[in-house]
Amino acid sequence: MWQRNQTFLADFILEGLFDDSLIHLFLFSLTTLVFLIAVSGNTLTILLICADAQLHTPMYFLLSQLSLMDLMHVSTTIPKMATNYLSGKKTISFVGCATQHFLYLSLGGGECLLLVLMSYDRYVAICHPLRYTVLMNRKVGLMMAVMSWLGASINSLIHTVILMHFPFCGSRKIHHFYCEFPAVVKLVCGDITVYETIVYISSVILLLLPIFLVSTSYAFILHSVIQMHSAGSKRNAFATCSSHLIVVSFWFGACIFSYMRPRSQRTPLQDKVGSVFYSIITPTLNPLIYTLRNKDIAKALRRVLGRDILTQRQQLPLP
């Protein structure tokens, strides 16, 4: 009994992204740089929204939650990958693998839900501007954030518990750089075709339903924008929505590539490429897209920086 429990809880081996070649050392350095940019950009966005009173609106509150999810997403996978690469070890404990699986799945599902709710926020702001403060107040924004975090966490917990209760056999080598579901499920002993089919169908639904809801919101938004008479109002509406649309396209495009392909058409390299895009590249691009294309964020950054400079000048001793 003890030996069986020890085997059940044995460590997994992560194949990783890189080997010891010079080109892979360069790619590792580049990945580390991208990780630091992602952490800095998302942290700055969160702090900026918290520090500037003019950004205390439902739209920017939801954006701060998106940045928090992106920050946690890159922190869930990249540090472990970097630690294994630098130390030469490739192991991850059973509990560590389960924790990593739960976190990445929670954050990924939460981001899907949050992007849908952010599109609803834009729909209300453009199609019903006079009712915006009623339909999208602070309480509603908080409820949206709680729904995203809680709903995704429950879904992730169920899948993690089920997956980690299956028996694993063979070398327990995961052909990935973290414990992603498609890579871990390949190590399960026995026939789990029914479970895999259920997961595949649920993944398709959980991806296609948010895409349908986002598309519906933007169809109404486009209809309202076309009916606007002012060219300036049209430009403001497109500027407000374009950042969100770009983020949605990147995120759902990568998720569809990673999770909606049948198992027979998957290769470890393709899984790694898809995972790199949505777990590293997208969290890095999101704050850059919102910062570069959003005038309110840029103005808030100048206000905060100007306030700090003024405070420093006031603290200088008079000659």
The better pLDDT of the pair 173, 304 is held by 173
Binned at pLDDT 50, 70 and 90, residue 75 comes out as very high
Torsion angle, alpha carbons of 225, 111, 59, 235, to 10 = -30
In this model, does residue 311 exceed pLDDT 70? Answer: no
In this model, does residue 1 exceed pLDDT 70? Answer: no
In this model, does residue 318 exceed pLDDT 50? Answer: no
Binned at pLDDT 50, 70 and 90, residue 317 comes out as low
Domain of residue 270, CATH code:
1.20.1070.10
Average pLDDT, the chain: 84
What is the number of domains present in the chain? 1
252-309 tens-digit pLDDT = 888 887 777 766 667 777 778 778 888 888 899 888 887 766 777 777 777 777 665 5
Domain assignment of residue 319, yes or no:
no
pLDDT of residue 298: 75
The better pLDDT of the pair 169, 126 is held by 126
pLDDT of residue 95: 93
Tell me the two tokens of residue 83.
Answer: 């630690």
Domain assignment of residue 304, yes or no:
no
Domain assignment of residue 274, yes or no:
yes
Strands of the sheet with 173-174, listed across from one edge: 91-92, 12-14, 173-174
pLDDT of residue 277: 83
In this model, does residue 6 exceed pLDDT 60? Answer: no
Kindly report the pTM of this predicted structure.
0.87
Quote the percentage of the chain above a pLDDT of 70: 91
Domain assignment of residue 114, yes or no:
yes
Under 8 Å between Cβ of 16 and 25 = no
Domain assignment of residue 4, yes or no:
no
Domain assignment of residue 34, yes or no:
yes
Average of pLDDT values for 176-183? 87
Domain assignment of residue 1, yes or no:
no
The better pLDDT of the pair 46, 5 is held by 46
Domain assignment of residue 251, yes or no:
yes
Range of the domain at 176: 12-295
In this model, does residue 165 exceed pLDDT 50? Answer: yes
Quote the percentage of the chain above a pLDDT of 90: 33
Average of pLDDT values for 56-74? 93
In this model, does residue 148 exceed pLDDT 80? Answer: yes
